[in-house]
Amino acid sequence: MPRNHSDRIKGNMNPLVSKIHGKERRWSAEYAALRQLCLASGLNEELKWGQACYDLNGGKVVLIHGFKDYCALLFTKGALLKDSKGILVQQTKNVQAARQIRFASLAHIDKRRAAVKAYIREAVALEKSGAKVKMKTVAQFDVPEEFQKRLDDDPKLAEAFHALTPGRQKGYLLHFAGAKQSATRTVRVQKHAPRILQGLGLDD
């Protein structure tokens, strides 16, 4: 696919990313096009979490990832972008900062090329400005009824939970609340109560 003059690669292609992208089958052409756009911005290309990630002085700006039905650019501070085209997607209601632009085909990327370049430029400017997404505090997260009852009935568990770091507390609250059925939420609380008492987070 021919590149526009403004799409000339400015950043260096990381061989680790080339290796990972070389194994991609479903989104091979789409990854190549998105990589071209990201490198044209002059950002540093790294492999993070098994994905092509583009950063500015260590600050992560955007990454490329793929799923069954779409591939996407994920802007780490997407919640701060103006989204003038209305194309940013919040993956789930619990994702606070990051936003995606999703693509279903190479033609889809070509159609949005100008918009994507503009969003990347804005994301780079945001990173340079030092702007940060204001994250919700633990107190702003809902505590599932089943977990609250357990905390009320077990002072030691309540003390241990509140002694956890905010990140670990949020992890548990999101995990418990993620179950649709009350019975499932109760099972999750029972399963993880011993870990909380040990001072461990969900993924420790």
Query: So where are the chain's domains?
Result: 5-129, 138-197
- Provide the pLDDT confidence category of residue 11 given band limits of 50, 70 and 90: low
pLDDT in tens, 49-62: 899 999 999 999 99
In this prediction, residues 144-154 reach a mean pLDDT of 94
When pLDDT is cut at 50, 70 and 90, the band that residue 2 belongs to is very low
* E-strand stretches of the chain: 44-48, 51-56, 59-66, 71-75, 99-103
199 — pLDDT class (breaks 50, 70, 90): very high
Instruction: Specify whether the CB–CB gap between 61 and 76 falls below 8 A.
Output: yes
Q: What is the pLDDT of residue 138?
A: 78
Class of domain 5-129: alpha beta
Q: What does the pLDDT average to over 134-141?
A: 79
Question: Could you report the per-residue pLDDT of 59-118, keeping only the tens digit for each?
Answer: 999 999 999 999 999 999 999 999 999 999 998 777 889 999 999 999 999 999 999 999
Question: Per-residue pLDDT for 4 more than 80?
Answer: no
In single-letter form, the type of residue at position 164 comes to L
- Cβ contact 145:181 at 8 Å: no
Q: Can you give the pLDDT at residue 90?
A: 92
| pLDDT for 30 beyond 70 | yes
Provide the pLDDT for residue 1: 43
pTM of the model: 0.71
Least confident piece of the model among 28-37, 66-75, 136-145, 178-187? 136-145
User: CA-CA distance, 85 to 144, in Å (whole number)?
Assistant: 36
Q: How many CA atoms lie within 13 A of 188 on its CB side?
A: 21
pLDDT of residue 9: 57
